[in-house]
Amino acid sequence: MGSCRHCGRTGRDVSSTVAFCADCIREHFDQVWPEIESVHRQSRSLYGLPLTPPYEDKGITCGICFHHCQIPDGKTGFCGLRYHENGKIKGGRPHEGNLSYYFDPLPTNCVASFVCPGGVGSGYPHYANLEGPEYGYKNLAVFYHACSFNCLYCQNYHFKQRTPLSVRISAKELAGVVDTNTSCICYFGGDPTPQIMHALKSARIALKRLSGRILRICWETNGAMEEPFLSMMADVTLSSGGCIKFDLKAWDEGIHKALCGVSNRKTLANFKKLSRLIPRRPEPPFLIASTLLVPGYVDKEEVAGIARFIASLDPNIPYSLLAFHPQFFMYDLPPTSRRHASRCKEAAQSEGLHRVHLGNTHLLGDDYTC
């Protein structure tokens, strides 16, 4: 149980790490941010990651994500993977992927499984092998060891130990593991953005090798990449029958910065931009949103704001609400309660969304009073 340093409120839904409640973050962000920022710095220093995006006058600009890091010679960008060496930006290029991968039998625990071809057969027969779940087929899950965010509740934070470029798997090598029983590839992490060139290259090689067969290209991402990479992702996904899953972590920018260390403006702008492409391929769903229900912080107010935004673009965009499990620097919070999940689902539906889903329900905890 934590206590808010600003208003004094205590409860199981106040993280002792963040040290401020959601209301105070939303209403008094400028006052509470310096202390929260120090926690983000501490969480990054443990892994030798840059504390803030570098902006050196003599640095070279990396244009892959919204940070636009100006990286000095011998140093890395905020992601910890892109680095400046002898006048060139390296790390994450097509021949030097820092990643791990594995195969998952379909249907799998994918954010989009409740609407995607692999989970329910949507898009059959053009984009799905079966009219229902694709039993007998598999997904190639590609986990990239870098990220442009700094989420204090990261569910896969162990990747930070592997972010310094040590593993080198070329795009050609990765594409080579795709076989005829692989019906989709999902790039996630961490986040695929710092290594987006590698992901796009491997996807194109694999699609060429399996030309004439179903191979969907999918992404799970924070959505903060720059052009032309956003459009390149969209093109390969639309043509292959895959989906792009944006993790919309919070609606209020202050809450988003408190939890993730960065603004959500680029993510929301990119989501809006991709929504305009939905008419090109309404089914299977091309664009999907998800939100992790962090107790005390990502509440029904946050979910309602996100849902209102999505519904204004297209009320048929699928929205998956995911149960939180205590991890990383927010280990002191309880799991998402059933009451919390139910209220958030109702809030999303009340904003006009037609396809709202509760995921990871096995992680839901008991209800509690906060």
CATH of the domain at 136: 3.20.20.70
How confident is the model over 74-96, as a mean pLDDT? Answer: 93
| Structure-token pair, residue 181 | 């029983």
Residue carrying structure tokens 């492409």 = 277
pLDDT at 171 over 60: yes
The answer to whether residue 161 is domain-embedded is yes
pLDDT at 141 over 90: yes
pLDDT at 292 over 60: yes
Centre a 10 Å sphere on the Cβ of residue 34 and count the other Cβ atoms it contains. 8
Whole-number average pLDDT of the chain: 95
Cα torsion through 152, 252, 188, 61, rounded to 10: -90
The answer to whether residue 170 is domain-embedded is yes
The answer to whether residue 33 is domain-embedded is no
Structural domain boundaries enclosing 157: 99-363
> How many domains are contained in the chain?
1
The answer to whether residue 83 is domain-embedded is no
pLDDT at 369 over 90: no
Residue 183 near residue 215 (C-beta atoms within 8 A): yes
Question: pLDDT band at residue 368, thresholds of 50, 70 and 90?
Answer: low
Residue 211 to residue 25: CA distance in whole angstroms = 51
The answer to whether residue 235 is domain-embedded is yes
Of 230, 233, 241, 240, nearest in space to 201 by CA: 233
The answer to whether residue 13 is domain-embedded is no
How confident is the model over 255-262, as a mean pLDDT? Answer: 98
The answer to whether residue 196 is domain-embedded is yes
How confident is the model over 337-352, as a mean pLDDT? Answer: 97
pLDDT at 72 over 70: yes
pLDDT at 163: 76
> pLDDT of 207-230, one tens digit each?
999 999 999 999 999 999 999 999
The answer to whether residue 79 is domain-embedded is no
* Helix, strand, coil % in the chain, rounded to nearest 5: 35, 20, 50
Element of type H or E holding 198: helix 196-209
How confident is the model over 30-45, as a mean pLDDT? Answer: 98
pLDDT at 164: 74
How confident is the model over 56-69, as a mean pLDDT? Answer: 95
| Structure-token pair, residue 366 | 């008991």
Q: Which residue has the higher pLDDT, 243 or 2?
A: 243
pLDDT at 165: 66
pLDDT at 147 over 50: yes
pLDDT at 370: 42
